[in-house]
Amino acid sequence: MGIFYRTFLRVFAFLSSIVFFILCLGLINNLIENNNSNNYFEFSKNLNSTNKIGLIKINGPILNEPSIDLDIGFLNSINVIYVNEIENLLKKFKNEKINGLIISINSPGGSVSASYKLYEIFKNFSQKNSISIYFHTNELLASGGYWAALSGNKIFASYGSLIGSIGVRGPDWIYYDKPISISNGLFGNSIETKNGIKKFNNIAGKSKDLFDYFRAPTNEELTSLQNTTKRIYSDFVLLVSKNRKIESNIITDEIGAMIFETKSAKEKFLIDEIANLNQVIDIMAEDLLLEDYKLIKKRHKKNTFYNFFQTSYFTNKKEINNKSINQIINRDICNISKYSLSTIMLNTKFDSSC
């Protein structure tokens, strides 16, 4: 038994030292790569130029932050715009002393708070650093996405893109009128109603049980919710009017919450020009009087250690995590659609999956 224990301890110590060495190596490598802008960004065009144009590509609904801490490696590949991640990214661009910034965005919208915060972040970055920001979309710029784009100096869209949906949608209040059974079947949720299920709430405070499926809303509650939505919509309209130089009555009466293809969007002054991303880059360079420039964008690549560790040992775990992360994202989106006081999101597959 003594020989067995000595052998076991030696093997355990050997394996532990290997694990410790790998972890230390990974930590050192991660610190080096995170502190080196050459590893954080990738550069193109004239690499010797001192002029710099930044480019950020973002896609998906706009949320404040993930409901859990997600690994940065996964955040590179998911189609959600997390405001806290954009804020951190802009700090990196500030250190690069860029001459201008282009945001290529495709978004159906998001929560009011996240959309407004994203607008404020871009606006403050532009003003504090005296940097022009041009927005571009090649697919969809709607609702909260358009709100965020109003922070830019100009808005461009590739031919065939959809722009607009200037409106605010409050949460739905679904009322089950005298339910007797609720079930999850093969074809989705089902409910039968008559006199049956009784539900008791322990609450304190008037209307604390807002959105309770088992009671109808009062007129006072409906009026309050509608007024909240109208106030936010009014702010949205005023912002569009101010930034796009469009009369408020034209926005409310003619443009409304419709979406438009690029030609109509330009005619209604929702965008400045119809142009693809490469053309927008050239336009910015011309506007900034840059004879040459270096294009900078975030390197969508995990660090070397992360790639090795994930690819070599955790392929199955990665697949599981990707699936779990998608579920978390869908849950976050459903939560803002169902329970936020207001959302500004174009109706999409995200809403129907909730």
Q: What contacts 56, CB < 8 A, 6 or more positions away?
A: 86, 89, 93, 101, 102, 103, 104, 297, 298
- The single-letter DSSP state of residue 260 is E
**Contacts from 192-196 at CB under 8 Å and sequence distance 24+?**
none
What's the average model confidence in pLDDT over 128-136? 96
Low-confidence winner among 1-5, 190-194, 218-222 (lowest mean pLDDT): 1-5
pLDDT computed for residue 347 by the predictor:
47
Q: How far is CA 165 from the centre of its chain?
A: 17
pLDDT computed for residue 167 by the predictor:
86
Comparing C-alpha atoms, which of 27, 110, 84 is closest to residue 332? Answer: 110
pLDDT computed for residue 153 by the predictor:
97
User: What are the residue ranges spanned by the domains of the chain?
Assistant: 1-35, 42-172+224-352, 174-216
pLDDT computed for residue 298 by the predictor:
86
Q: Right CATH number for 42-172+224-352 from 3.20.20.120, 2.40.50.140, 3.20.20.140, 3.90.226.10?
A: 3.90.226.10
pLDDT in tens, 193-252: 666 566 666 777 787 777 777 778 888 988 888 888 899 999 999 999 999 999 999 999
Supply the pTM of this predicted model. Answer: 0.73
Q: Label residue 134 by pLDDT band (50, 70, 90).
A: very high
Q: Contact, 119 vs 148, CB < 8 A?
A: yes
Q: Label residue 72 by pLDDT band (50, 70, 90).
A: very low
pLDDT in tens, 84-127: 999 999 999 999 899 999 999 999 988 899 999 999 999 999 99
Low-confidence winner among 46-55, 265-274, 321-330 (lowest mean pLDDT): 321-330
pLDDT in tens, 290-335: 999 999 998 765 544 445 444 444 444 444 455 555 555 555 555 5
Tokens coding 50? 């001192």
Average of per-residue pLDDT values in the chain = 78
Length of the chain: 354
